[in-house]
Amino acid sequence: MKKFVLILIFLPLLRNASISSEIDSAYVYNTYNTIAKRLIMQSMNDSTAWETLAFFCDTFGPRFSGSKELNDALFWAKYALERDSFVNVRLEKVMVPNWKRNTEEAYITYPRNKRINISAFGGSVGTNGIYIEAPVIVVNSFDELKEKSQLVKGKIVVYNFPYKGYGNGVQFRFWGAVRAAELGAVASLMRSISPIGFHKTHTGMTQYVDTINKIPHAAISMEDAALLQRLQDRGVVPKIKMMLNCETREDTISYNLVAEYQGRTLPNEYVAMGGHSDSWDNTPGAHDDASGCIAPWFAIKAMMELGYRPARTLRLVWWVNEENGVRGGKSYAEEHKHEKHRVVFEFDSGVFEPTAIGISGDDKMVAILKGIEPLIKEISPLFEVRKGGGGVDIGPSMKNGIPGMSLSTKGNDEYFWYHHSSSDTPEKVDPLLLNKCIAVIAVATYIYADLPDFISTH
């Protein structure tokens, strides 16, 4: 009798050990084939996701950290998620930066008068309520700035760096004011980081160093930067007059939005998934990152509607303040560091053809999840599962040792047509591609949250 009891006790352990040793991509495909196909069908046939994204962007508009519009959007979303039967829906307080753009103007005053579009970079200082006017010096690189260092004092530096990918251009936005101020410039401007022009300006975050004089720093259009370059190349020294009334106020209250779909058997283990709720103050941010909030919401909603509940809890998180401080990501990582997270997932790549799910950490997990590739390839032939996932919002949690996962899309340079500009509006988002992204997120996160506990978790 005792021997029989021991066999009964150890039989589940032996079964789990067998699963642990044999689980592979084929196991994932065979086990989740039907569920995945139904999740894909459910997501692809849903017309409400794009409508919700459009409503969200149209109703609340730009949702900059520190704004009433952002907090109004978060309170609306809390109500909507409760209506959709999410549980433990809550707003977790986060103190966020409170920078205000206010008004801004700029003109070329020599050799002719021309008003130019200008967008101060987030965190920029203003001009103290007055116009400043100064000669311009145009450079294409920090090396050229250094070479012309004797000509910079008292001038407005314009960085006319041709678009060679976002990563190459962002250095001038981030450090341009510091480098120019070191040499005595009174202000700095830069060509917007975008492969196309149409007189649009693209904003973003800048950085100062307390030991170096802080000067105004802003974006101008591709066309105006090119005009200034041509004038200089002809031996003309252009002049610009500008006024920025931006200011930094005391930090203010906003929130991370959290909602859960509780796990079937392991409700205290979490797959946290979402995007950032804030946008820049000049855009409703349809691609960046309303889509990153809406798509994970509707991925979980597809599971709910089909009655599929994974073993672990899926926790939807809308991180706040990604654009100018990452306060939401840092706050979440600290507040939830003692909870057991299986993975943190972020979608912040824009709504284009899904090309990859990236996963950091365990190589074995990457190999196992390759089992979803043939399922997703039916709707996105280029799709793959690959090593390496992450994002700005989930970065602080990943530093705590939690694996990161992210969705990559085929937007490439097209994403930067809209990025951080007034053009990032709902009609730029293809409803079919949004549904594809939702389908991929639903399949990947459901399977990840449901797999047997064959690897160590955080």
Active site residues: 322
- What's the rounded Cα separation, in Å, for the pair 134 and 207? 23
Cβ–Cβ under 8 Å, residues 263 and 310: yes
Q: Rg of the Cα trace of the chain?
A: 25
Sheet holding 384-387, edge to edge: 87-100, 247-261, 312-319, 266-276, 340-346, 404-409, 354-359, 384-387
Q: In this structure, how many other beta carbons lie within 10 angstroms of the beta carbon of residue 166?
A: 18
- What's the rounded Cα separation, in Å, for the pair 61 and 293? 15
DSSP 121: P
Burial of 437 (0-12, 13-18, 19+ CB in 10 A): buried
Burial of 175 (0-12, 13-18, 19+ CB in 10 A): middle
Tokens representing 431? 């409803």
DSSP 142: H
Tell me the CA distances in angstroms from 81 to 45, 228, 307, one per residue in order: 21, 50, 17
Q: Of 210, 123, 245, which is closest to residue 173 (Cα–Cα)?
A: 123
